[in-house]
Structure 1
Amino acid sequence: MLIGILCALCAGLMWGLVFVTPLLLGDYPGVVLSLGRYVAFGLIALVPAWFDRRRIGLLNRQDWTVAFKLALVGNLLYYAMLATAIQLADAPLPTMLIGTLPIVISVCANWRPGHVSESVAWSRLAPSLVILCLGLTLVNSSELERLRSTIGNMRSTTDYALGCIIAVCAIAAWTWYPIVNSRYLRTHTHINSITWATAQGLATLPMALIGFTLFGICGYASGSDYAFPLGPRPGVFVVTMLVIGLSASWLGTLLWNKASQLLPTALVAQLIVFETLAALLYAFLLRGTAPDLRVLAGVVLLCIGVVYGVRTFSRRAAVSHSS
């Protein structure tokens, strides 16, 4: 369990980087950031695929079908929606909406567990979920107050609302992804976490290349002023895409796969809060301001909620082992 938690923590630190990327590259459309990130992920995955070609070759048709579905929904669609939402509503609010994932996924995973061993009594799961919810509420209230003081026209209000809607769609995509990914790995224990991360990268590459090509064709046909393919800052764009392609995509996916194999789905879901905490840290560093007391109180509650959830599943594991 400790190894699984540490893997989830490190994955969260990697994934937190993707929340500030749309702010660093605000002159790039969210779709381009998603496609660029996953073209980089796919190209990077070619290297470990060569060294791991024996195990990659053992993956069957069903494995590749699932890998393609996970890559499309959990990679391309999710990050395109997330990047667009951040550019419309700024980083902290979409980050905190995405931060509800620990609650949403835990409820969904426990509502219909893939196996009886994954289920936990609602009375035992509820306290950690309530604490997480209170923490998210505190942080969200602070960010909403800040947004009210900075929104000065209807266009900004519209952008904010649209960003929230798109963030909710991203939540739906990433509720589906970790549940399906975790259960597939737990029922196919012969698949190595590194192999599975590489397979998802390979599955992502052709879809990202096709999407990038279609974006360029549509932009040319519509007379878009976007400097296709690498945009107004080619060097910064390429370096950033390679960094998040390696750290957030390949390494983050590898670490998350390992956590998914070692921990129950409902617990893994709660540990997604590490991504939220990392994204908040990076966003406030980029903003150059310190979080207020409500944000700090919310962060403390999020940490308490995670600890409480871990203890709940630890006690359950101990009881199952003794019986």
Structure 2
Amino acid sequence: MWTGTLYALAAGLMWGLVFVGPLLLPEYPAALQSVGRYLAFGLIALPLAWMDRAALRRLVRADWIEALKLVAIGNLLYYVCLASAIQRAGAPLPTMIIGTLPVVIAISANLRDHRRDGRLPWARLLPSLLLIAAGIACVNRVELDALRADPEADLKRYVQGALLALVAVACWTWYPLRNADWLRAHPDRSPRTWATAQGVATLPLALAGYVVVWVGTSLLGRDFPMPFGPRPWFFIGLMAAIGLFASWIGTLCWNAASQRLPTAVAGQLIVFETLAALAYAFILRGRAPEALTLVGIGLLIAGVMWALRIRPEPRAVEGHTG
């Protein structure tokens, strides 16, 4: 249990980096940042795939199709929506909306996967979910008050950002559930191999997406220097860093956690991503969080710790009488 939790913590620290990119590259289209990140991920995965080629050969066509689905929705579409949301609404609001993932995934997994993982009793799960929800609400309240006090705030853009963040939540509710399905169905397979397989599957999709963005930019007549934008070396370096740490190492750690933890519990541990993203956002702002924000972070941590105390109840085996 604790080993899985540490892997989930490492994944959260890595994934929190994805909230930084759109803030550091505000002039870059979200679609370009998404395909650039995953093109870097795919290229990083190639030498790893060569080293792991014996294990990758064991994957059948159905496995590769599943990997393509996972990267298309859980990687490319998710990050397009998230980066667009951050560019429109700033980092805190999308971070808080994405922060509802632990609650959404825990409820979805408990409804969907109780036959496989055992059912987490709702009465015991509820306090954890309420603590996490209350923590998110506290942090969100501070950010919304700051938005109301900003005379230059564009409400339309914030609403667009919120809606895009909700689509990102839907993408990343689907991804861990489907990813856990494959990992739990293949306990003999290495999480590293599956992370590398997703990187390899990402490469052709990201390359095609890059071409589409490039052609689309030209056809629309936008004054944006392709292929790497106005700050090419910074863009390439940042995409490479996010591709390595957030995409490959983060996916590897999450796969390791998913093999060790019930999906309903693992889903709640995505709260580590929210905490990491908040920490990085406040570091970029150069100021400490508000008192209510710290209260919210404390509630989030308390909710996670409560969840770790819960053990699934095995499905009752129906007997028969003769």
TM range (shorter): over 0.9
Deviations 1:132-160 (A, max 9, x none): 0100000000110011111435xx11111
Structure 1 residue aligned with 2:133: 133
Q: Normalization by structure 1: what TM-score?
A: 0.95
Structure 1 residue aligned with 2:75: 75
> What is the alpha-carbon distance in structure 2 between the residues aligned to residue 115 and residue 184 of structure 1?
16
> What is the alpha-carbon distance in structure 2 between the residues aligned to residue 147 and residue 205 of structure 1?
38
Gapped regions of structure 2 (runs ≥ 5): 317-322
Q: How far did 1:317 drift? A: 7.7
Structure 2 residue aligned with 1:167: 165
Structure 1 residue aligned with 2:260: 262
Aligned positions of 1:85-96 closer than 5 A = 85-96=85-96
Is the 8 Å Cα contact of residues 82 and 94 (structure 1) preserved in structure 2?
yes
Structure 1 residue aligned with 2:149: 149
Structure 2 residue aligned with 1:222: 220
- Greater Cα shift, 300-309 or 113-122: 113-122
> What is the alpha-carbon distance in structure 1 between the residues aligned to residue 266 and residue 25 of structure 2?
31
Deviations 1:6-54 (A, max 9, x none): 0000000000011011001111011111100000000000011000000
Is 1:272 the counterpart of 2:274? The answer is no
Q: Normalization by structure 2: what TM-score?
A: 0.96
Q: How far did 1:117 drift? A: 2.8
Is 1:60 the counterpart of 2:72? The answer is no
Aligned positions of 1:105-116 closer than 5 A = 105-113=105-113, 115-116=115-116
Aligned positions of 1:1-323 closer than 5 A = 1-113=1-113, 115-152=115-152, 156-313=154-311, 316=312
Gapped regions of structure 1 (runs ≥ 5): none
Q: How many percent of aligned residue pairs carry the same amino acid?
A: 52
- Please identify runs of 4+ aligned residues in structure 1 that moved more than 4 A: none
> What is the alpha-carbon distance in structure 2 between the residues aligned to residue 16 and residue 170 of structure 1?
15
SS of 2:182's equivalent in the other structure is helix
Q: How far did 1:115 drift? A: 3.0
> What is the alpha-carbon distance in structure 1 between the residues aligned to residue 151 and residue 66 of structure 2?
43
> What is the alpha-carbon distance in structure 2 between the residues aligned to residue 112 and residue 181 of structure 1?
14
Q: How far did 1:114 drift? A: 5.8
Is the 8 Å Cα contact of residues 118 and 265 (structure 1) preserved in structure 2?
no
Aligned amino acid, residue 307 of structure 1: M
SS of 2:130's equivalent in the other structure is helix
Higher helix share: 1
Q: How far did 1:184 drift? A: 1.3
CA-based RMSD of the aligned residues comes to 1.5
Aligned amino acid, residue 268 of structure 2: Q
SS of 2:20's equivalent in the other structure is helix
